[in-house]
C-alpha cells in the first residue's frame, strides 16, 4: 500500500459574485463539494479565472485537464527547473529533471496541489502528460501517459524513448498513483522498423471515443534528428491495459498534433502546430488532418476561417448548443489570436500577441468562426504612476488544455506568458498556468447557449 500523499492546500481561486464560503478543506466534504454543476439557466454569467502556478524555482508546462464522473476536476502538468526553458520537456539529459504532478478540485474552483510525483519517486524524468478518464467497472480512474527515457533527445543513442503509464489508485480521491510502468517496446515496432526511435507524447491529446476506446497522438523522429518527422495514433481498446500504434503519417515541419474531436462520420479531426524552433512569438497556420479510423488512412484537410496560430498546442471538444433559434452540434477549438489591439484609459494603444481565443465550427471542422479573443473584461488599475492592465487575457498563450464538463461549462488550463517569475536566483521570463471555467453563453454575450453534450 502506498503511503498517503501529503497535500498542500492553496486558495488562489475566486468566483465572481461569490464569497469566501466556497473555500474548502480537503479533509471533509461540505455540501458545496462535488456539486458544482449548473443548469443552462444558471450559466449566463459563469466566467472566472485564476493564476494557478508559475512562481518559485520551477517552470510549469504542458497542462492536461480531466473531469471525472464523480465530479473531481484534475489537471496534470510537468514541473522543471528554472534553468530548463526548452519547449520540449524530456530530452534524455538526467541533469534537466522533468516530473509530472497533479492538482485536484472538488468544486471546480479551489485546487489541492499534490506534493508527491504522479507515478511515485522515479530516477527518470517524465513529462508532457496525457490524461484519460476511464470508468472501468463503474470505478472512475484517471490514466496518465507521459514520455520518459530519451524523450526527444537528438543524441546518437540507439535506445528508444519510453512512454510510461500511471493510474490513480481507487478510493484515494486521486491523491495516490501507481508507479510508472513503461509500455512494452514491441508496441512501437511499426515505428522502430522504420528507424524511428524517438517518441513524444503530444500535450493533452487524449480522447475517449464513442465506443470507449482511449486514443491520443505521439510525435516521432529518428535519433540525431532535431524536429518531429511525423505523428502516430496510440490507442487502447481495453480501458488502458494494452496499447497499440495505429495510423501514422509524416509532417512538413510541424509537431504537437492532437485529436480535436471524433466527427459524426467516425473520422478523427486532427490539428498540428508548425515547429517554432523555440520561438514563442512565431505565428503560422495549423496543419489539419482527417484519420478515416484508428488504423486507416490519414489525409490532409483544408479548413477556413482561422487566423495564424502561435505554434503552441491546441485543444478541442464537442458541444450541443442553441444558436439563432436552432439547436446545433458544434466543435470548439481553444486556439490563439495573432495580434489583438487594446487601448488603455490614457488612450495608449497596446498589442497583445497570441492571446487565447475560442473558435467554433458547425460543419465538422470545415469552417470556423471566432467566439471571443477576450474571455474577461480588460480592467485597468492605477499603479500609482500609470494605469496598467493586469488581466490574464492581456498575456500571450502557448500550450493549453480544454474539457467540456458534464454540465456544458468549459474548463481550461493554459500557459500564459509575459510574466517575470521570481526564483531563488532572481527573476526569469516565462509562463504561468492559468485556470478558467466559463460558459459559452457568458463569453459569447448570449449568442450561444449550452443545450447538452
**Quick check: is 2 in a domain?**
no
CATH number, domain at 250?
A: 2.120.10.10
Question: What percentage of the chain carries pLDDT values higher than 90?
Answer: 65
Give the model's pLDDT for residue 424.
63
DSSP assignment letter at 265? T
Q: What 3-state DSSP class applies to 40?
A: helix
Q: Which domain range does residue 75 map to? A: 7-452
Averaged over 429-447, what is the pLDDT?
Answer: 90
Give the C-alpha separation, 271 to 298, whole Å. Answer: 12
**Contacts with 137 (C-beta within 8 Å, 6 or more apart), sequence order:** none
Specify the number of domains making up the chain.
1
Give the model's pLDDT for residue 246.
98
Chain segment 357-392, per-residue pLDDT in tens: 999 999 999 999 999 998 876 655 444 444 444 466
**Arithmetic mean of pLDDT over the chain:** 86
**Quick check: is 152 in a domain?**
yes
- Single pTM value for the model: 0.89
DSSP 339-395: EEEEE-TTS-EEEEES-EEEEEESSTTSB-EEEES-SS---EEE-SSSEEE--GGGS
Q: Report whether pLDDT(434) > 70.
A: yes
**Quick check: is 238 in a domain?**
yes
Give the model's pLDDT for residue 426.
64
Give the model's pLDDT for residue 423.
60
Least confident of 89-98, 200-209, 346-355, 443-452: 346-355
**Quick check: is 1 in a domain?**
no
- Partners of residue 351 on adjacent β-strands: 341
Q: Report whether pLDDT(254) > 80.
A: yes
Higher per-residue confidence, 238 vs 140: 238
Radius of gyration of the chain (CA): 21
**Quick check: is 232 in a domain?**
yes
Give the model's pLDDT for residue 241.
94
Q: Compute, in degrees rounded to 10, the torsion defined by CA atoms 31, 320, 259, 312.
A: -80
Q: Model confidence at 18, in pLDDT bands (50, 70, 90)?
A: very low
Burial class (CB in 10 A: 0-12, 13-18, 19+), 208: middle
Q: Which is it for strands 7-10 and 111-114: parallel, antiparallel or unpaired?
A: antiparallel
Which of 67, 73, 22 is CA-nearest to residue 52?
73
Q: Model confidence at 9, in pLDDT bands (50, 70, 90)?
A: very low
**Quick check: is 248 in a domain?**
yes
Give the model's pLDDT for residue 50.
82
**Quick check: is 200 in a domain?**
yes
Q: Model confidence at 122, in pLDDT bands (50, 70, 90)?
A: confident
Chain segment 31-56, per-residue pLDDT in tens: 578 999 999 999 999 998 887 776 66
Q: What angle do CA 51, 48, 23 make, to 5 degrees?
A: 75
Q: Which is it for strands 387-389 and 380-382: parallel, antiparallel or unpaired?
A: antiparallel
DSSP 405-450: -TTS-EEEEEEEEEEEEEETTEEEEEEEEEEEEE-HHHHTTTS-EE
Amino acid at each position: 500500500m502506498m503511503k498517503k500523499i501529503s497535500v498542500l492546500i492553496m486558495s488562489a481561486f475566486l468566483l465572481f459574485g461569490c464569497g469566501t464560503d466556497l473555500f474548502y478543506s480537503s479533509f471533509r466534504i461540505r455540501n458545496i463539494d462535488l456539486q458544482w454543476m449548473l443548469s443552462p439557466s444558471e450559466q449566463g454569467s459563469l466566467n472566472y479565472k485564476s493564476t494557478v502556478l508559475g512562481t518559485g524555482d520551477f517552470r510549469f508546462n504542458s497542462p492536461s485537464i480531466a473531469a471525472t464522473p464523480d465530479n473531481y476536476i484534475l489537471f496534470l502538468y510537468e514541473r522543471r527547473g528554472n534553468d530548463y526553458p526548452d519547449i520540449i520537456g524530456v530530452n534524455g539529459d538526467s541533469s534537466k529533471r522533468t516530473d509530472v504532478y497533479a492538482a485536484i478540485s472538488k468544486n471546480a474552483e479551489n485546487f489541492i496541489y499534490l506534493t508527491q510525483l504522479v507515478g511515485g519517486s522515479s530516477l527518470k524524468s517524465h513529462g508532457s502528460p496525457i490524461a484519460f478518464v476511464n470508468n472501468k467497472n463503474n470505478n472512475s480512474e484517471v490514466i496518465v501517459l507521459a514520455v520518459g527515457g530519451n524523450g526527444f533527445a537528438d543524441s546518437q543513442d540507439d535506445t528508444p524513448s519510453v512512454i510510461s503509464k500511471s493510474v490513480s489508485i481507487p478510493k484515494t480521491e486521486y491523491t495516490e498513483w501507481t508507479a510508472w510502468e513503461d509500455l512494452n517496446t514491441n508496441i512501437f515496432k511499426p515505428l522502430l522498423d522504420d528507424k524511428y526511435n524517438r517518441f513524444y507524447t503530444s500535450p493533452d491529446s487524449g480522447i475517449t471515443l464513442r465506443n470507449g476506446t482511449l486514443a491520443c497522438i505521439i510525435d516521432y523522429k529518428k535519433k540525431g534528428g532535431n524536429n518531429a518527422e511525423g505523428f502516430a495514433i496510440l490507442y487502447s481498446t481495453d480501458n488502458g491495459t494494452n496499447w497499440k500504434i495505429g495510423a501514422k503519417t509524416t509532417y512538413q515541419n510541424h509537431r504537437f498534433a492532437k485529436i480535436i474531436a471524433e466527427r459524426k462520420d467516425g473520422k478523427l479531426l486532427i490539428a498540428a502546430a508548425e515547429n517554432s524552433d523555440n520561438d514563442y512569438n512565431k505565428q503560422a497556420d495549423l496543419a489539419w488532418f482527417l484519420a478515416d479510423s484508428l488504423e486507416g488512412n490519414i489525409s490532409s484537410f483544408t479548413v477556413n476561417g482561422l487566423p495564424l496560430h502561435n505554434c503552441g498546442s491546441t485543444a478541442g471538444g464537442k458541444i450541443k448548443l442553441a444558436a439563432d433559434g436552432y439547436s446545433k452540434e458544434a466543435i470548439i477549438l481553444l486556439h490563439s489570436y495573432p495580434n489583438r489591439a487594446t487601448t488603455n484609459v490614457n488612450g495608449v494603444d497596446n498589442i497583445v500577441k497570441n492571446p487565447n481565443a475560442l473558435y467554433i465550427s458547425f460543419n465538422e471542422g470545415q469552417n470556423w468562426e471566432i467566439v471571443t479573443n477576450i474571455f474577461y473584461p480588460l480592467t485597468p488599475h492605477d499603479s500609482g504612476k500609470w494605469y496598467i492592465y493586469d488581466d490574464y487575457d492581456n498575456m500571450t498563450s502557448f500550450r493549453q488544455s480544454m474539457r467540456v464538463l458534464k454540465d456544458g461549462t468549459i474548463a481550461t488550463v493554459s500557459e500564459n506568458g509575459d510574466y517575470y517569475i521570481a526564483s531563488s536566483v532572481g527573476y526569469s521570463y516565462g509562463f504561468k498556468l492559468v485556470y478558467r471555467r466559463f460558459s459559452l453563453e457568458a463569453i459569447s454575450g448570449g449568442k450561444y447557449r449550452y443545450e447538452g453534450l
